[in-house]
């Protein structure tokens, strides 16, 4: 393996570090609003094909490894990431403009989810083994022996995300879950953090070599959009993981659906994550159920991470009450006191400014507040801004319900429950939806608010704010279109592994030829469904 300094601007085709044959580009430091000196080269179409072909060759070998072997690989990736030390954190801070504490925490989340999937593999029951032993004497017809389990799909392409240079990028959740499932991975690095990506790629390759993984189990490519679409179109690729813009996700989806063999694209794309506030939740003069407390929490959530979370609450629906004025005044006070901060790149910053401007000039939309300090363009900063309007204006708009990625939110004041229900009904699919209410309000209302929000989102919150996404077994990070391209899946938590597997039934097989998970002796000691009863 080359040293870190040699690897900062390379791609990897399998275990081999390579320089791309395509066009050159430079990393951008948003806090300085300038390009960095080190150059990166995109791979050519031919080099991209080589990476996929290596993945295809690695697949039958990697898929047959034991769960313990794949778990060791994931654990070693986590250790190699930690071994990069401050260099990885410093490079990610430089390329993203995110603070050191945020990046350090994100590295912990990345290594944590790798180890979470390693533990899932060691326990083993995720393969969903189902066994119906033969019943030769059954009348009127005998039953043959049937045994079913989940098996890996094949090579997967993963696209790194701009807003999480570690946790949703090269070694992030898509890569971790695909590798856990038994699928080789080809990662297309995000151009906003190429040096970070190369460092993480180096760590994964080192882990692959140390644990004896087949060459081609992982590749990292710096690539332009044309080559990226070619990766999706390659017949050896069996699934795609993507986190990014709606336009980008739909472009990949069209390529995947236009192939002779269509493949699944698990794309997380766009969400405004509505927050609904009913009067009872802000009726107390102080404490957590006061207008000031909930409003302060909203302002903090909107500005957290410069609003660059996919779960940022971009819309708040407030059912008018005697405490509405206090709620709005508190949000305005907190937003004015907040500070502009560096956004991920110049393109995201410009799109944010354009989105805010487009909304604020709509007749009937008012600027509730914006940060007292102007944004500094020399630091690629976004200025926190909260707008307000009424339900009729919102309902008549073509774009007020669209995502504005950054530290902004729109508060819609509704006069009646009917207006509020109409606003929620018109929304597209979301990652999250939050309701602030009392249990008594929900029971007494003529509207089933929980059912309405459940139909719109993959995660429904009772109080709190959605910007934290716990990496755990019970988490759903997904939702109806356009939040994701497949509402049946999650990109966070152990359930993410199910995106990259498919069921296979083995009929009338000799026991010794069955996968260990289906053999009579249950050598793996996992939980299995045997004629409808869970057994070990």
SS3 at position 316: strand
Model confidence band, residue 279 (pLDDT cutoffs 50, 70, 90)? very high
Of all residues in the chain, the percent with pLDDT exceeding 70 is 99
**Phi/psi at 280 (5° precision):** -65, -25
268 a catalytic residue: yes
423 a catalytic residue: no
pLDDT in tens, 125-180: 999 999 999 999 999 999 999 999 999 999 999 999 999 999 999 999 999 999 99
Range 93-113 average pLDDT: 97
Of all residues in the chain, the percent with pLDDT exceeding 90 is 96
Rg (CA), the chain: 25
For residues 218 and 185, the answer to whether their CB atoms sit within 8 Å is: yes
259 pLDDT more than 80:
yes
Catalytic residue among 268, 370, 403, 419: 268
Range 257-277 average pLDDT: 97
pLDDT in tens, 4-34: 444 578 999 999 999 999 999 999 999 999 9
Specify the pLDDT at position 7.
Answer: 55
**How big is the CA angle at 153 (ends 149 and 157), to the nearest 5 degrees?**
150
Model confidence band, residue 1 (pLDDT cutoffs 50, 70, 90)? very low
Catalytic residue among 310, 349, 414, 423: 310
- For 222, residues 6+ apart whose C-beta sits below 8 A from its C-beta are 11, 20, 25, 40, 41, 42, 43, 189, 191, 194, 197, 198
CATH superfamily entry for domain 275-462: Aldehyde Dehydrogenase; Chain A, domain 2 (3.40.309.10)
365 pLDDT more than 50:
yes
Euclidean distance between the first and the last CA atom of the chain, given in angstroms as a whole number: 43
pLDDT in tens, 300-337: 999 999 999 999 999 999 999 999 999 999 999 999 99
Domain ranges of the chain: 10-269+488-499, 275-462
Q: Which fold has domain 10-269+488-499?
A: Aldehyde Dehydrogenase; Chain A, domain 1 (3.40.605)
Closest CA to 369 of 399, 397, 328: 328
Which pTM was predicted?
0.95
For residues 80 and 199, the answer to whether their CB atoms sit within 8 Å is: no
């Amino acid at each position: 393996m080359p040293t870190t300094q040699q690897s900062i601007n390379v791609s990897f085709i399998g275990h081999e570090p390579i320089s791309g044959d395509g066009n050159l580009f430079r990393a951008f430091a948003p806090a300085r609003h300038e390009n960095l000196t080190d150059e990166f080269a995109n791979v050519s179409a031919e080099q991209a094909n080589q990476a996929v072909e290596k993945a295809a060759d690695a697949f039958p070998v990697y898929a047959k490894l034991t769960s313990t072997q794949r778990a060791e690989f994931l654990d070693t990736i986590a250790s190699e990431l930690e071994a990069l030390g401050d260099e990885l954190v410093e490079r990610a801070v430089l390329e993203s403009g995110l603070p050191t504490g945020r990046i350090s925490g994100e590295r912990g989340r990345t290594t944590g989810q790798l180890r979470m999937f390693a533990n899932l593999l060691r326990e083993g029951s995720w393969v969903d083994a189902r066994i119906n032993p033969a019943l030769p004497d059954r009348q009127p017809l005998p039953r043959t022996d049937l045994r079913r389990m989940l098996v890996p799909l094949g090579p997967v392409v993963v696209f790194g995300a701009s807003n999480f240079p570690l946790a949703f990028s090269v070694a992030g959740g898509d890569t971790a879950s695909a590798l856990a499932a038994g699928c080789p991975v080809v990662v297309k690095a995000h151009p906003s953090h190429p040096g970070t990506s190369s460092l993480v790629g180096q760590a994964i390759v080192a882990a692959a070599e140390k644990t004896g993984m087949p060459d081609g189990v992982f590749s990292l490519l710096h690539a332009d959009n044309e080559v990226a679409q070619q990766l999706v179109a390659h017949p050896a690729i069996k699934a795609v993981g993507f986190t990014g813009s709606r336009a980008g996700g739909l472009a990949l989806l069209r390529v995947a659906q236009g192939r002779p063999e269509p493949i699944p694209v698990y794309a997380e794309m766009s969400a405004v994550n509505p927050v609904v506030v009913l009067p009872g939740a802000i009726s107390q003069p102080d404490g957590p159920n006061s207008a000031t407390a909930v409003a302060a929490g909203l302002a903090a959530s909107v500005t957290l991470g410069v609003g660059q979370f996919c779960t940022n609450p971009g819309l708040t629906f407030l059912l008018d009450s005697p405490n509405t004025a206090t709620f709005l005044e508190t949000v305005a006070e907190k937003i004015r006191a907040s500070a502009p901060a560096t956004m991920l790149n110049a393109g995201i910053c410009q799109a944010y400014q354009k989105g805010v401007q487009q909304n604020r000039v709509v007749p009937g939309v008012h600027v509730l507040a914006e940060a007292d300090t102007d944004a500094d363009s020399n630091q690629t900063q976004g200025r926190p801004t909260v707008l307000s309007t009424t339900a009729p204006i919102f309902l008549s708009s073509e774009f007020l319900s669209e995502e504005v990625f950054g530290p902004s939110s729109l508060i819609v004041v509704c006069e009646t429950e009917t207006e509020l229900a109409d606003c929620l009904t018109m929304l597209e699919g979301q990652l999250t939806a939050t309701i602030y209410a009392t249990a008594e309000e929900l029971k007494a209302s003529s509207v089933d608010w929980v059912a309405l929000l459940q139909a719109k989102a993959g995660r429904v919150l009772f109080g709190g704010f959605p910007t934290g996404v716990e990496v755990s077994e019970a988490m759903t990070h997904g939702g109806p279109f356009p939040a994701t391209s497949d509402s049946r899946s999650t990109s966070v938590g152990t359930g993410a592994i199910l995106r990259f597997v498919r069921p296979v039934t083995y009929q009338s097989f000799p026991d010794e030829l069955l996968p260990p998970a289906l053999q009579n002796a249950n050598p793996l000691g996992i939980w299995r469904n045997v004629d409808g009863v869970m057994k070990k």
